[in-house]
Amino acid sequence: MTSIGTGYDLSASTYSPDGRIFQVEYAGKAVENSGTAIGLKVKDGVVLAVEKLVHSKLLVPDANRRIQTVDRHIGLATAGLLADGRNISNRARDEASSYRDIYRSPAPLKAIIDRLGLYVQAYTLYSSVRPFGISTILGGVDENGPSLYVVEPSGVFFGYNGAAIGKGRQLAKTELEKLKLNELSMREAVMEAARIIYLVHDDAKEKDFELEISWIGPESNYTHVHVPKDLFNEAEAQAKAALETFE
């Protein structure tokens, strides 16, 4: 049974006769039209990487980053509508700050994810708002070790060893499944992340893009930061070489 075009997609608070909320599904389509973002949970840390599509040559390089810091030990990457991603990152920072104020300790990533999932899900309940048009990968290292989660537009979230969202997620997931993630070092994960982003971008033959990579672990003193420039350049060069070999 299909209900598209019969009025059931006009509000996020209306179910179709077959139990679907079309506004949430449309939000998922917005994510699929975005550049790819991936996350890798390896033996001693987490690596995030993003394919940021460049829509104009006039844009300032490194502006409007899609990878952002939530707390010292937590980072996030988004795929979908950029402004929605900024809203979510600000909310995540508020939750991390609130946890610190109350418990006087850094927030475990699971606590942030629980609160963020509830926040995103609340936007699927009311006719006066629309669901967020993004999926979000959050990675961090806390007292429980490295962890990686994805929050979907519906508010549902799952823990992952390797995650991919955005336009090239299927190919990226296939490549991630080939890796022995729990055996990789952070530097090896950076190389693999760059290779996968270049591979999925080439497969789509999209516009120019900027590669963003960040990490959290012993290499970064357990702080979420973008990878050092020398390592970034090495990873990008290896990714381009691997792509030429693949072709």
Q: Where residue 196 falls among pLDDT bands split at 50, 70, 90? A: very high
pLDDT on residue 206: 65
Phi, psi for residue 82 in degrees, rounded to 5: -60, -40
Q: How far is CA 170 from CA 38, 63, 73, 165, 180, in A?
A: 11, 27, 28, 8, 18
With respect to residue 164, please indicate whether it lies within any of the assigned structural domains.
Answer: yes
Total domains in the chain come to: 1
Residue 5 above 60 pLDDT? no
H runs (alpha helix) in 78-222:
82-103, 109-122, 169-177, 186-204
With respect to residue 147, please indicate whether it lies within any of the assigned structural domains.
Answer: yes
Residue 121 above 60 pLDDT? yes
With respect to residue 119, please indicate whether it lies within any of the assigned structural domains.
Answer: yes
Amino acid identity of residue 207, one-letter, is K
With respect to residue 2, please indicate whether it lies within any of the assigned structural domains.
Answer: no
DSSP class of residue 60 equals: P
pLDDT digits (tens, 9 = 90+) for 12-60: 888 888 888 999 999 999 999 999 999 999 999 999 999 998 888 888 8
With respect to residue 10, please indicate whether it lies within any of the assigned structural domains.
Answer: no
CATH number of the structural domain spanning residue 138: 3.60.20.10
pLDDT on residue 134: 95
Q: Where residue 1 falls among pLDDT bands split at 50, 70, 90? A: very low
3-state DSSP assignment of residue 76: strand
**H or E element in which residue 242 lies:** helix 229-246
Q: For 162-172, what is the mean pLDDT?
A: 95
With respect to residue 114, please indicate whether it lies within any of the assigned structural domains.
Answer: yes
pLDDT on residue 247: 60
With respect to residue 6, please indicate whether it lies within any of the assigned structural domains.
Answer: no
Residue 194 above 50 pLDDT? yes
With respect to residue 177, please indicate whether it lies within any of the assigned structural domains.
Answer: yes
Please give the residue range of the domain that contains residue 157. 22-245
Residue 85 above 70 pLDDT? yes
